[in-house]
Amino acid sequence: MADKIPYKTYLTEEEMPTQWYNVRADMKQKPAPLLNPGTGKPMTAEELSGVFCEELVKQELDNDTPYIDIPREIQDFYRMYRPSPLVRAYCLEKALDTPAKIYYKFEGNNTSGSHKLNSAIAQAYYAKKQGLKGVTTETGAGQWGTALSMACAYLGLDCKVYMVKVSYEQKPFRREVMRTYGAEVTPSPSDTTEVGRKILAEHPGTTGSLGCAISEAVEVAVSTEGYRYVLGSVLNQVLLHQSIIGLETHAAFKKIGVKPDVIIGCAGGGSNLGGLIAPFMGEKLRGEADYRIIAVEPASCPSFTRGKYAYDFCDTGKVCPLAKMYTLGSGFIPSANHAGGLRYHGMSSTLSELYDQKLMEAVSVEQTSVFAAAQQFARVEGILPAPESSHAIRVAINEALRCKQTGEEETILFGLTGTGYFDMVAYQKFNDGTMTDYIPTDEELEKSFATLPKIG
Amino acid sequence: MADKIPYKTYLTEEEMPTQWYNVRADMKQKPAPLLNPGTGKPMTAEELSGVFCEELVKQELDNDTPYIDIPREIQDFYRMYRPSPLVRAYCLEKALDTPAKIYYKFEGNNTSGSHKLNSAIAQAYYAKKQGLKGVTTETGAGQWGTALSMACAYLGLDCKVYMVKVSYEQKPFRREVMRTYGAEVTPSPSDTTEVGRKILAEHPGTTGSLGCAISEAVEVAVSTEGYRYVLGSVLNQVLLHQSIIGLETHAAFKKIGVKPDVIIGCAGGGSNLGGLIAPFMGEKLRGEADYRIIAVEPASCPSFTRGKYAYDFCDTGKVCPLAKMYTLGSGFIPSANHAGGLRYHGMSSTLSELYDQKLMEAVSVEQTSVFAAAQQFARVEGILPAPESSHAIRVAINEALRCKQTGEEETILFGLTGTGYFDMVAYQKFNDGTMTDYIPTDEELEKSFATLPKIG
């Protein structure tokens, strides 16, 4: 252990993980399989390979192999922007006057602005290796679309992004970043797909949704020669790739002789949280260590804390397999004032199963309190956080203040998934004092639960 | 020397410099002093201390002390976002198929998005230590204003930023970042100052300029109790603080057993270039080593390559001391299509003197070629560069291509000063193919040279 813990702990490039960790291998009760919506039976590798690359299908279905080699080419790409630092938040601790020790793993130091690049390069790599021409995807706020554009530019792969129309219009700069990386960006719903035309006919004025953009991207992938679909969250394969976050964190803690007590991550589809907690959850599953693990979600999109654990559609057009997950129903749309991201109606099947087994907790927080935490953090730690990440900051601060009251010297780790440079419209609302909160009523949730399929 | 040079070389926190390096101490012919525009005599410390903090005045006038201690509090702040990585651009080398070895020092991994934070925290610290209430400054594109806002938020100091009106309106997100850090941002020219009201009366439709915003910020500083003015470039003190860039780079090269042949930096007012080259120029001045040092500036604002070495006004309102520098005349305004930053009419007195002594070279490049280099770099190195920084990228690529032709295995270092996340309007023009170039005619330059004061 160092005399003084440094502000930032970096692994050397030699110390960087060379394998991803698959938490499913250590789960006794595995996550529920994807189902074919037609037959109600588990999706086979063959069925999935029309949508996803072959190697990714293998990873998606592999519940048994604990460690999977990271191909050399992906390791090389990781070295361009990784290892990411494990930061000791000395200034935040001082500002809070807490005996708690606060650490964060910062994933925002790359142009995509978030952890999404970790899986984007993996998915693009396998597509390239399979000899494909390109990939399609959807993006909401644009972090995932940017990450995928970067990975495709690096590998020389075509990239078609369906961007939720409201974001396409309100975030022209995100779109330009993607275009700078050579991606083709289409506002969704669009008239370039059958499902898009159908949605436009039914809802002429719609500004789009993630679920709708997914349907369009999948349709293009399965109907275009040499293309496959890739997704930035929710899937098992994504959590596998994102385990690099947790593995680096685990190794960095070991290097400085520290063990966290509480691990906190924001949760939309679950990619960051699943990645951050992976090796720690593994220890917990194997009975080697115990940690409090907390998922944080928006009160306006509370899939863990108020959702149902059930099979649901992953997309609006219902072209995707069904997944068992904590969900608000695929018909759920967050209220119009929602500004903090994490707006997907469901949650990773793996995390849903772990949560159902009470191996982790979940809390929901309101957005004005999230932005207040973001501002406090920015002013003392010098990083303007993404609204998504700020959900974790909010709860980390709450936990540190609890320690202040009790005098406990707990070690708190949270995932700082990204930066908020493209989220200034939301920050402006907060700065102007015009940001409001919204918690859906029970009646509203009952209405969206009614969109759940009648299965299982 | 390592078996293989890593992608990124970081110093440990113990290895970080604890002193800044003052290149003026090693210059036989010192930079010309600032002059009082009224008397034509060198500004005294007393005269300067109405505008600047006392400690900063000392640093501004100190041509003799080679190393100046970095106060502990500033070192602590540096540890929040430094050391910055020295990156081996393996992917760019491969894309160019060059035998040259390319390195860049990346200063963009902090929320201000650039190296400006290195001097902002120093200037804010000395203001705080002097018991001041706040500081004023100007900002153009917004990197400096953001950096100063961050430093002031950290230290609990008021921060008033005069932002060039056209940027204030076209870059609302930069403004919001500053507001998130608690700064008061005023579009310039404004009716809050005498000089602002005068300029507005003379040029009712003006969208402002850096020189005008400087005048306003200085007026507020000297006329408000407990305030001083701070500046993000040009001054000797700024180059001193920015020497942290070069010192880290020098130490990191030593760590991996490498010595650069060519050092390239973009140059507007000179803060980044002066900081990057400081210890290397020191070796050159002391006859210990030799390096090719290249300043890169926009062809549309060519102060080194086409300017006069003369005393000039630093601001439009002519309230600041006169500085001897390579200048286009304080009346010079880059053409309306100019999008790449680096638009100040003059250049650091220290760099001007070094350039005049032929200790460094300068080249100018046109903006479409700069953005082409930026895009190429972004696609292979994964970082979307600031337009300013991309001037250095352009010339680094040119030098690497020269090595490809000659077969020379030169080691090229350039300064990657920042990221372009708030410059997407310019990128969009490039992506759309609507960006154009402009080189001022000799007649235009003669006209702006006519605004030079008749002195010395």
pLDDT of res. B3: 62
How far is the C-alpha of A390 from the C-alpha of A286, rounded, in Å? 31
- B105 forms beta bridges with B86, B415
pLDDT of res. B455: 73
Task: Name the helix (H) or strand (E) containing A390.
Answer: helix A387-406
Q: How confident is the model at residue B4 (pLDDT cuts 50, 70, 90)?
A: confident
Which of A12, A107, A111 to substitute to test the interface with B, most B CBs within 10 Å?
A: A111
Choose among A389, A350, A354: nearest CA to A373: A389
pLDDT higher than threshold 60 for residue A421: yes
Task: Name the helix (H) or strand (E) containing A315.
Answer: none
Q: Residues A298-351: pLDDT tens digits?
A: 999 999 999 999 999 998 888 889 999 999 999 898 888 888 889 899 999 999
Q: Residues A339-364: pLDDT tens digits?
A: 888 989 999 999 999 999 999 999 99
Buried b vs exposed e over B362-381: b needs ≥16 C-beta within 10 Å? Answer: bbbbbbbbbbbbbbbbbbbb
Chain B 6-65, CB below 8 Å of chain A: which residues? 6-8, 10, 12-13
Q: Residues A372-391: pLDDT tens digits?
A: 999 999 999 999 999 999 99
**In the 8-state DSSP scheme, what is residue B235?**
S
- Mean of the per-residue pLDDT values of chain A: 95
**Please, is A251 exposed, middle or buried when counting C-beta atoms within 10 Å of its C-beta (0-12, 13-18, 19+)?**
middle
Q: Residues A16-56: pLDDT tens digits?
A: 999 999 999 999 999 999 999 999 999 999 999 999 999 99
Residues of A in contact with B89 (CB under 8 A): none
pLDDT of res. A420: 96
Give the amino acid at B379.
R
Kindly state whether A335 is in contact with chain B, defined as any CB-CB distance less than 8 angstroms. Answer: no
Q: Look at B180 and A378 and tell me if their CB atoms are within 8 Å.
A: yes
Q: Residues A187-217: pLDDT tens digits?
A: 999 999 999 999 999 999 888 888 899 999 9
Of B154, B181, B427, nearest to A176 by CB-CB distance is B427
Could you tell me the end-to-end alpha-carbon distance of chain A, in angstroms, rounded to an integer? 52
Q: Residues B174-195: pLDDT tens digits?
A: 999 999 999 999 999 999 999 9
Q: Are B298 and B334 in contact (CB under 8 A)?
A: yes
pLDDT higher than threshold 90 for residue A4: no
Of A10, A111, A427, nearest to B382 by CB-CB distance is A111
Q: How confident is the model at residue B26 (pLDDT cuts 50, 70, 90)?
A: very high
How far is the C-alpha of B341 from the C-alpha of B267, rounded, in Å? 10
How far is the C-alpha of B436 from the C-alpha of B426, rounded, in Å? 11
Q: Look at B177 and A81 and tell me if their CB atoms are within 8 Å.
A: no
Residues of B in contact with A77 (CB under 8 A): 382
To the nearest whole Å, the CA of B116 is away from the closest chain A CA by 13
Give, in order, the Cα–Cα distances in Å from B236 to each of A396, B141, B452: 42, 22, 22
Place of tokens 């690049």: A117
Place of tokens 């918690």: A439
pLDDT higher than threshold 80 for residue A3: no
Preceding peptide of B71 cis, ω within 30°: no
Q: How confident is the model at residue B456 (pLDDT cuts 50, 70, 90)?
A: low
How far is the C-alpha of B222 from the C-alpha of B113, rounded, in Å? 29
Buried b vs exposed e over A69-93: b needs ≥16 C-beta within 10 Å? Answer: ebbeebbebbbbbbbbbbbbbbbbb
CB contacts < 8 Å between A and B, how many? 122
Q: Residues B282-325: pLDDT tens digits?
A: 999 999 999 999 999 999 999 999 999 999 999 888 888 999 99
Residues of A in contact with B7 (CB under 8 A): 13, 79-80
Half-sphere exposure for A451 (CA within 13 Å, toward CB): 21
pLDDT higher than threshold 50 for residue B146: yes
How far is the C-alpha of B403 from the C-alpha of B92, rounded, in Å? 14
Closest alpha carbon within chain B to A6:
B13
pTM listed for this prediction: 0.96
Kindly state whether A91 is in contact with chain B, defined as any CB-CB distance less than 8 angstroms. Answer: yes
Q: Residues B433-452: pLDDT tens digits?
A: 999 999 999 999 999 999 99
Sheet strand arrangement including B134-139: B184-188, B158-164, B134-139, B227-229
Longest dimension (CA), chain B: 66
Provide the 3-class DSSP secondary structure of residue B223: helix
- Mean of the per-residue pLDDT values of chain B: 95
Q: Residues A263-275: pLDDT tens digits?
A: 999 999 999 999 9
Q: Are B358 and B278 in contact (CB under 8 A)?
A: no
Place of tokens 């230590």: B129
Token code pair at residue A144: 């995932």
Q: Look at B431 and A176 and tell me if their CB atoms are within 8 Å.
A: yes
pLDDT of res. B47: 95
How far is the C-alpha of B364 from the C-alpha of B355, rounded, in Å? 14
Q: Look at B378 and A80 and tell me if their CB atoms are within 8 Å.
A: no
Q: Residues B35-92: pLDDT tens digits?
A: 998 999 999 999 999 999 999 999 999 999 999 999 999 999 999 999 999 999 999 9
Q: Look at B380 and A172 and tell me if their CB atoms are within 8 Å.
A: no
Residues 6 or more apart whose Cβ sits within 8 Å of residue A240: A20, A21, A22, A59, A68
Q: Look at A382 and B80 and tell me if their CB atoms are within 8 Å.
A: yes
How far is the C-alpha of B178 from the C-alpha of B65, rounded, in Å? 35
Kindly state whether B170 is in contact with chain A, defined as any CB-CB distance less than 8 angstroms. Answer: no
Residues 6 or more apart whose Cβ sits within 8 Å of residue B433: none
Closest alpha carbon within chain A to B375:
A180
pLDDT of res. B2: 45
Q: Residues B331-350: pLDDT tens digits?
A: 898 888 888 889 899 999 99
Q: Count other C-beta atoms under 10 Å from residue A45's C-beta.
A: 12
